[in-house]
Amino acid sequence: MNLPLGLIKVALEIGLQLPQISCNETLKNIDLQTILLMAEKGVIGKIVEVKSAAGDIVEIVIE
């Protein structure tokens, strides 16, 4: 899934829970505020790679 940074930023500012993240056991503990800060500072590339108990691989990439 691809989520625009603007959507994540607004969601964090108003305390909105994004179901794509909050309902996903693998992503729930990811610090999106830190990832957003990294994107705003110009960091590009793969930031996080997590393997779930079911074997799914989740990557967070800033392009």
Give one DSSP letter per residue of 1-52, joined into a string: ----HHHHHHHHHHTPPPHHHHT-TTTTT--HHHHHHHHHTT--EEEEEEE-
This prediction's pTM: 0.66
Per-domain boundaries in the chain: 5-62
Report the pLDDT value the prediction gives residue 41, as an integer from 0 to 100.
Answer: 93
- Condensed to tens digits (0 to 9), the pLDDT of residues 26-56 reads 677 778 888 889 988 999 999 888 887 888 8
